[in-house]
Structure 1
């Protein structure tokens, strides 16, 4: 019987097991992420190809692209999964909650999904994986997408144009503050605690400042 690798718990080594027919699709995604994390640590991000990842995971190249549009998406797996729920978090507060308070609580709630044991491996192992340049390049479209979401949420609550100056400026400042907090958290190493308190400390002054611009205190 042909044998291939399957995933054990996150970031653990893959072990050889018999092929099981009809493997659930979710397992292929997890196997690819597991294989990529190992290979990036072993031979750096740049030294690893999509074919290498697919081969280590025991799936085809075509299967890889069923789950990920690009190799860099693997660096953001946990972040992208969490961001999928962010629009609902932004809409959760009652309509009478002032714009910046609603945004502040949504951003903090998003951060609560990350603890010391849940951070993209590429962020904590940048030097070993050689992912610094790729992280910067692939972070920009995600940053801008989150800014658009936050600007739209602020504008809806404030009755303003989402492409207007104040909603865009406020959203950019809030997301930038949250990213700065995440960077400090990622570099803290073994001293790393929960992310949410750092994010709250970073975004609260920004939200308080812009609250006055939208007629709130």
Structure 2
């Protein structure tokens, strides 16, 4: 059978329709009273199709953030050995943020009161914070030739991940007048970078003079 003539909605279209349907239903009925079946029905797809794209209902609250974490992991995976770790993470995070449009704010960060998702946002948000920390820790461990559970690696990864979370939150809460996410990310990373620049080894940094 020639796949070019196959009938069916393209996968990318189904995903977008599920996202739109979920946003509508969460605002109409609240998050708790909306089921996966209702989302699939509103989108015109099957329940099985829903699970082709999302592992849980809560994933629909964090679509852009999850995509950003995936992209960050991809960016860091291409960094060659010897590149200063902190600079590489900063550059990768800025590239990811630069591609996020001002209207692509996660539902969890803007509509939690209307949707009744405050508790769900906290719990599922912590999952994202931990996942991003793991991505950064894995990269730092590789670049610094340290174990992934090393105290320096974990401290730096969690500090950076926390700064990125703060940037996303501040960006979302600034409302329709918000600027570009990349500016918030840059400012947040600047806040934590001073201490990290001292703590993280950098092979390109000149050694201190002997006095």
Classify 1:166/1:59 alpha carbon distance in 2 versus 1 (closer, same or farther; 3 Å).
same
1:62 aligns with 2:48: yes
Q: CA deviation at 1:95?
A: 3.1
111-120 or 147-156, which deviates more = 111-120
TM-score (norm 1): 0.84
1:145 aligns with 2:131: yes
TM-score (norm 2): 0.86
Classify 1:64/1:208 alpha carbon distance in 2 versus 1 (closer, same or farther; 3 Å).
same
**2:33 — aligned with what?**
47
SS of 1:84's partner is helix
Structure-2 separation of matches of 1:184 and 1:44? 24
Q: CA deviation at 1:193?
A: 0.4
- The root-mean-square deviation of aligned C-alpha atoms, in Å, is 1.9
Counterparts of 1:180-199 in structure 2 under 5 Å?
180-199=166-185
Counterparts of 1:117-156 in structure 2 under 5 Å?
117-156=103-142
Q: CA deviation at 1:24?
A: 2.0
Q: Which has the higher contact order (CA 8 A, sep 6+)?
A: 2
* Number of equivalent positions: 198
**Is this contact kept in 2: 1:114–1:195, CA < 8 A?**
yes
CA distances 1:84-132 after superposition (whole Å, capped 9, x unpaired) = 2212212344533211111111122222222321112342222222222
Q: 1:81 aligns with which of 67, 71, 76?
A: 67
Q: 1:168 aligns with which of 154, 157, 168?
A: 154
**Is this contact kept in 2: 1:101–1:207, CA < 8 A?**
no
Structure-2 separation of matches of 1:115 and 1:61? 29
39-48 or 86-95, which deviates more = 86-95
Structure-2 separation of matches of 1:116 and 1:24? 26
Q: Structure 1 unaligned runs (5+)?
A: 1-19
**1:105 — aligned with what?**
91
